[in-house]
Amino acid sequence: MTSAWSRRTFLATSAALTAAGGGALTLATPGAASAAPEDDPYTALRTTWSALILGEGFSPTAEPFKSRLADLGTKASQWLEAMAPVEGSLWPDAVFADPDPDTDAESYVFSGRMADSFIRLNTMAQAYRQQGTGLTGNTGLRDAVLTGLEHLNTQVYNDGQTRYGNWYSWQIGAPQALLDVCVLMYDAISPERLARYCAAVDHFVPDSAVASYTGTSTGANRVDLCRVLALRGVVGGTAAKIALARDALSPVFPLVTKGDGLYADGSFIQHTTVPYTGSYGSVMLGGLGLLFALLKGTTWEVTDPKRQVVFDAVENAWAPFLYNGLVMDSVAGRAISRGEVDDHRRGHPIMASIVLLGRGASAAENARWRALVKGWAQRDYYSPPLNNPSLGLTALARIKSVLDDTSLTPVAEPAGHRLFPDMARTTHRRPGWAASLSMADRRITFYETGNGENLRGWHTGNGMLYWWGDTFANGQYSDAFWPTVDPYRLPGTTVSRKVLADGAGGDWGVALPDVNWVGGVTDSKRAAVGQYLKGLTSTLMAKKSWFFLDDTVVCLGAGIHGRDGAAVETTVDNRNLGP
């Protein structure tokens, strides 16, 4: 194994190879690949995409942007210093060469590291292009990014490679980051290299990836694939790819009655059985906003009239699960186990995506949505969006533009009840507080685990009852709740104390209770809700009811029992009581 290069040696060698005309590391001078006329539509699209992913309308010397840009420069500098191209890796801690392709679990890890390597290069490219990073226009950083792209293309992401591990890394994670870098560094990449990078994307994301609306090509995943195809067309100057991406969005728009997508009642399902408004739904919303904005006013503008379904879903599907800046964990699937991002930090990107989506909506919708976002952002005292370290610069700028807009009157939290029978969820809002209920039935899974995540979410569909106050308890499920709570004693649930293995029931939401009687009735103010409960891999049976009233939620249970000797418990609540 070659020893790691120092940064000085790495850059000196790159420069020497460039001067000597070394084919693999030849670096194009700025402008070499941008000889297109000024009216070239692809040039305009690259300009638009750069603004969408770098952000616009903010001052790099004003907070919170000044600090974020400095942090971006620090992170890019760390990746630059640590970069050490050798066989099988670009960074020592991100080896992507799979030594044992027959081991699925390890292959997932190695494919993830491959995609992560492209994401690191994307961070470096953004630090090069952004103002105020301390590395803006730095030629050493530029050369490192270009050398990294070439190394990954030669080693792993090319049109002769057989994919291993997680399909997502090859079809979404890696190509999205690669194409972003190609746009940001376009003037410094030779046409020959761009052609090879596009060929690699074509290999892993062929047109057939969106030929049918099935499998991994539905909902949020379909939008992500369309983003890859659209940017592949932009980078390669291929009109047919952009047109394909636009047209392949159309199956996402119509309301569905089964499987993945948006339902008439406001439900959003991904992975066939998982309520996912707050995670995959967020990805879909953000991706659609980006593509609508990218293609607006071009030959490829998204004009399908069914896109109005998505606009209507802002208030029908997403808003009901946003409360004072957070998005409720009841619709976040396995994302609840990701400790670095809590319910507030998942809510803020949705708010920013709603602002972006408003650019393609009617003037009335745009104004109303911005007023909604302003209200959510102003009321998030627990985790103000502008202090969210995981919120990107672009999202930060969009939310700040709303907060600074004096023409907007923030919209207050509504009062009322919403039933979502197509995903066995319900929300209840009253002045000063809100609640949400998670259930499971023959169509909706107990919980989802996958990729080693959310291994103990077994009972989150057993009638888990969440509640928040308007000026208190907004951090109840944010402050290390999920890693510290007893998974057998989630608030509101009735469970068997039978010991379950991690991931019991199977990955990707395959565990479904054999029950139909789950749902309720509402007059939009109050509601009666019921769940016929059968335990996950246990003999637990119960009938549970909730009456959502003006100032109370009445919780009742009947026929609660098990026949395997394990204790059965109902947990009324489980909360952080403070100091």
Which residue out of 122, 138, 166, 221 is catalytically annotated?
221
For residue 120, give both structure tokens. 């690191």
Nearest alpha carbon to residue 329 among 282, 288, 285: 282
Whole-angstrom Cα distance, residue 170 to residue 176? 10
In contact, 386 and 399? CB cutoff 8 Å: yes
- Please state the three-class secondary structure of 444-455 as a single string: CCCCCCECCECC
The residues with which 467 forms a beta bridge, in sequence order, are 435
Nearest alpha carbon to residue 263 among 428, 417, 423: 423
Return the C-alpha torsion angle 319, 325, 329, 334, nearest 10.
Answer: 100
Residue 280 known to be catalytic: yes
Residue 221 known to be catalytic: yes
Q: Residue 296: how many CB atoms within 10 A of its CB?
A: 13
How is 269-292 classified by DSSP, letter by letter? EETTTEE-TTTHHHHHHHHHHHHH
Nearest alpha carbon to residue 223 among 243, 247, 252: 252
Q: Which residues touch 47 (CB under 8 Å, ≥6 apart)?
A: none
User: For residue 64, is the peptide bond before it cis, meaning its omega torsion is within 30 degrees of 0?
Assistant: yes
DSSP state of 252: G
In contact, 287 and 220? CB cutoff 8 Å: yes
How is 160-177 classified by DSSP, letter by letter? TPPP-S-HHIIIIIHHHH
For residue 222, give both structure tokens. 């379909």
Return the SS3 of 180.
helix
In contact, 118 and 111? CB cutoff 8 Å: no
In contact, 235 and 194? CB cutoff 8 Å: yes
The residues with which 531 forms a beta bridge, in sequence order, are 518, 544
Which residue out of 280, 323, 447, 488 is catalytically annotated?
280
Q: Residue 337: how many CB atoms within 10 A of its CB?
A: 17
For residue 106, give both structure tokens. 């390890």
Nearest alpha carbon to residue 79 among 93, 59, 69, 68: 93
* Type of residue found at 293: A
Which residue out of 151, 271, 348, 428 is catalytically annotated?
271
Residue 417 known to be catalytic: no
Whole-angstrom Cα distance, residue 418 to residue 526? 9
Nearest alpha carbon to residue 422 among 277, 261, 309, 265: 265
Whole-angstrom Cα distance, residue 395 to residue 406? 19
Nearest alpha carbon to residue 196 among 152, 234, 239, 162: 152
Between vectors from CA 38 to CA 34 and to CA 43, what angle results, nearest 5°? 55
Dihedral sign, Cα of residue 331, residue 333, residue 339, residue 340: negative
In contact, 128 and 141? CB cutoff 8 Å: yes
Largest CA distance in the chain: 81
Between vectors from CA 569 to CA 564 and to CA 574, what angle results, nearest 5°? 150
- Active site residue ranges: 221, 271, 280
